[in-house]
Chains A and B, each alone.
Chain A
Amino acid sequence: MVTTGELRRLMRHPGFARLGVVILLVVAWEISARFFLDRDFISPPSTVLTSFGELFGTPGVPSALWLTLYEIAIGFALSAIIGAAIGLAVGLNRLAHQSFMPIILLLYGLPQITILPIFVLVFGIGAASKIAFGVSHGMFPIMIAVAAGVQKIEPVYFDSARSMGASRWHLLRYVIFPHMIPSFFTGLRLGMSGVLLGVLLAELYVSTAGIGYFTSIFTQNFDATKLIGLVSVLAAIAIALNEVVRRVELRYARWRD
């Protein structure tokens, strides 16, 4: 039996209210989809849940998921490498920062969807254009976070490391890298959602495979059940990736406790 004390402790846990809101939303969705809305446009969660088997049985869907995952993975890796490299270069050099930071901020602020056709023209309608568009969304937040992160390093860390004989590599490896890790991870998480957005937008725009392709197919066929099922899978992927980044980040943040 649950005692009243245990129950009270449970209710004060932040997860309690959070779970409550999620359940409430799902119930509201179920009721409105079942009784008030057009079944061509929206499916109740119970139907979506029970037809996952059908969704994965649809020819092309499993490979589409793998393709999109592959595009996201490559896009994310490239974004991290390019973002960190340019962020370091711009963050560590005063002149480079003053010269190039406004350009980076401008490009980041630009609604890139307007130049998506150019990506397709240059990279074709295959995976390359999706990866490229993902990178162009993902690398800027990483760049900006890394540049900001390395700028705030106390000069005394450099002085003390140099006085002990640290080489340039030592400074990078033992002073700059550890210092930039928290902001790097913040950038990675923002970059991850950027890559996801870029890849999916490109798939929606023009493609013959991938999740984006199937979302537009399901939409055109008024197959709301499969559409929402696919979106749920996508959401699960996004949450899982974010969680992976967060876990890795925690391992490097022990000293901040």
Chain B
Amino acid sequence: MASAQPAIRVNGVSHQFGEPGEARYVQALLDTSLDVTRGELLCLIGPSGCGKSTLLGIMGGLFAPTTGAVAVAGKPVRGPMPRDLAFVFQESALFPWNTVRENVMLGMTFQGVAKAERGARARRALEAVGLIDFAEHYPGQLSGGMRQRAALARALSLETDILLMDEPFGALDEQTRMVLGEDLSVLLSRSNKTIVFVTHSLGEAVFLADRVAVFSARPGTIKQIIVVDEPHPRKPSFMTAPKFHALRDQLYGLLHDEIRKAMSETTQPRRRYGQTGPAETDGERV
């Protein structure tokens, strides 16, 4: 039955960086299984270094898990799947040497969209995020919030069924973050996309998610899944509702001990993603 097939199926995924005994060895994920339902927004939340971003990278085929398997729309993931899913990263992953429009167009070039189609699709995506007037600006000329909207436009223009968002609002201030969260909820209610959203913020998770997957401290695995039963688009008033606070408190209760556990550890994996990188990378936040 096609409709019952999950958008993403994660089956017994474990991942380690390096080998036991090496300085950089980290067991990031341990035997994690998860089904992402079509059309839902699933938040992954957990303490630093619990492997939630690693899991997102594995879902998107940026690198292969040490053990276990992921399937997207029933197809096993063996590498990037640009036709099925698009990423939005925390830091602006826009190319600084291209304008906003060029950035959006370039994504479609990579994906293989016909040349004639790119212009119209770029315009539609930029209009959807309210950036059409800034199309000819370079990312360096935009605020952090606008850059993330541009990154979202680039992902939207790829017209994938699935969006993977890795702390997309993580570097923004609280107010910008709330407004962008509302916009995302509106966008989601119209588009019927499946979204997996990694966040550190309890409030953001409850406000946006249909379900929240709570991770344990490293080696990360899913501790519990909480359902937020509230229709999209969500209004700011939801944030003051008793239900919102009850869920937020429940999340905090689940996370509290894990955060303490994670804080007592010091090592962080060197990189989150891929092997196709520059020769040397600086130590990194996870």
Contacts and interface: CB of A to CB of B under 8 A. Distances in A.
Closest 5 CB pairs of A and B: A165-B82, A160-B93, A94-B279, A164-B110, A166-B110
Contact of B279 (A97, A165, A171, A179): A97
A178 B95 contact: yes
A158 interface: yes
Given A156-B273, A163-B62, A170-B110, 9 more contacts: A152-B278, A155-B281, A161-B110, A162-B276, A163-B86, A164-B80, A165-B83, A178-B95, A181-B97
Contacts of A161: 110
Given A151-B279, A155-B273, A159-B62, A174 B112 contact: no
A63 interface: no
B87 A92 contact: no
Contacts of B110: 161, 164-167, 170, 174
Contacts of A91: 278-279
Contact of B278 (A150, A164, A167): A150
A157 to B, nearest CB: 6
A161 B277 CA distance: 11
A184 to B, nearest CB: 13
Nearest to A98: B279
A181 B91 CA distance: 22
Contacts of B82: 163-165
B278 A159 contact: no
Interface residues of B, number: 38
Count class of interface residues, chain A: 20 to 34
Contacts of B87: 159-160, 163-164
B95 A163 contact: no
B65 interface: no
Interface string A164-199: 111100110011001101000000000000000000
Contacts of B99: 255
B89 A156 contact: yes
Interface string B113-138: 00000000000000000000000001
Contact of B273 (A93, A97, A159): A159
